[in-house]
Structures are given as structure tokens and as C-alpha cells.
Amino acid sequence: MDRRDFLKRFIKAFFFALSLSIISIISYIYPTKIKQKKTFYIYLTEEENLPKIGIRRFEYIFKNEEKTINSFVFLKKDDKGLAVFSPFCTHLGCLVKWNNIQKEFICACHGGRFDVEGKVIAGPPPMPLERLPFDIKDGKVYIGIKLYG
């Protein structure tokens, strides 16, 4: 091995070790960012309680050994079918409210506004409201909420 080969190998080994160190530091600082979220399907309501048309708020409680979550979602029913929206604003996570007169979701924190499809129409939110997965089985409506497993 001549001096040039040695130097190439040394540089490769150095950058490999540096990459591993950076990944370790990032995973130590931001462990939840790297950890994958799992979708848990929870019972929400009977199918007969769904809105015939329009948007309605449904509350739910999710419990497991580690946590209890008391929250809500918005269900939208129209000619396109059913959609479930997360109530968390995509700007900084405040809860949005449905305004049935303006036909908009409104976030009071910084003036974010979303249309009936959850798309941003005003304010700082960078993305539409999150649509949650759902399932209807035997007349029961289940929604998928994402949590760190």
C-alpha cells in the first residue's frame, strides 16, 4: 500500500466515522422524530350518527397502559363521501373550530383558516388539515389516530 492509497482509505474511514457520529447525535437529540408513529383504530360512533351532509365534531377518548387522550375530530360528509379531519392546526398545533356560517375551519391562535376540504385559505399554516384514516365495520365508525408506538 502506497502513501496515496493509505490517505484515501484514511479519508473514507474518517467520513464514515463522522457520519455515524452525526447520526448518533441526531437520534439522541430528536428521538421522537426518528421513532415511527403507529396508527391505532379507535371506535368513534355508530354509522347512523354520521352527518347526512356537512361537518360535525365528534369527541373520543383513547386509553392504553401509557396514556389517555381526550380529543375530537371533524367528520365531513358530502357527495364525495366521508372525510375525517384532525383538529390540530398545521402551523403550531392549536385546535381549530368549524365555523358553520363562514364554512371554514378557523384557528384563533394566528388567524389560520382552512376551507371545507381542509385546504389553507389564509394565515400562516403551511399545510392543509390532516385527513385521518377511517373504517366502517358492522355499522360502527372507527378512526385512525397516529401515536408513537
State in Å, rounded, how far the first CA of the chain is from the last one.
Answer: 50
Instruction: Please name which of 92, 131, 127 lies closest in space to residue 108, comparing C-alpha atoms.
Output: 92
Nearer to ligand FES, 88 or 134 (CB): 88
Q: The C-alpha cell of 76 is what? A: 365531513
User: Rounded to the nearest whole angstrom, what is the least distance from the CB of residue 102 to ligand FES in the complex?
Assistant: 16
| Candidates 29-37, 62-70, 77-85, 123-131; binding stretch for ligand FES (CB under 6 A) | 123-131
Is residue 125 close enough to count as binding ligand FES by CB under 6 A?
yes
| Candidates 11-19, 25-33, 73-81, 87-95; binding stretch for ligand FES (CB under 6 A) | 87-95
- Please give the Cα distance from 92 to 68 (Å, whole number): 22
Among 44, 83, 87, 91, binds ligand FES (CB under 6 A): 91
- The interface with ligand FES within residues 64-83 (CB under 6 A) comprises none
| Candidates 31-39, 49-57, 71-79, 104-112; binding stretch for ligand FES (CB under 6 A) | 104-112
Is residue 118 close enough to count as binding ligand FES by CB under 6 A?
no
What H or E segment, with its residue span, contains residue 7?
helix 3-29
- Please give the Cα distance from 136 to 36 (Å, whole number): 25
Among 51, 123, 128, 144, binds ligand FES (CB under 6 A): 123
145's torsion region: left (phi>0), alpha (psi -120 to 50) or beta? Answer: beta
Query: In a 3-state reduction of DSSP, which class is residue 49?
Result: helix
Residues within the interface to ligand FES (CB under 6 A): 89, 91-92, 94, 107, 109-110, 112, 123-125
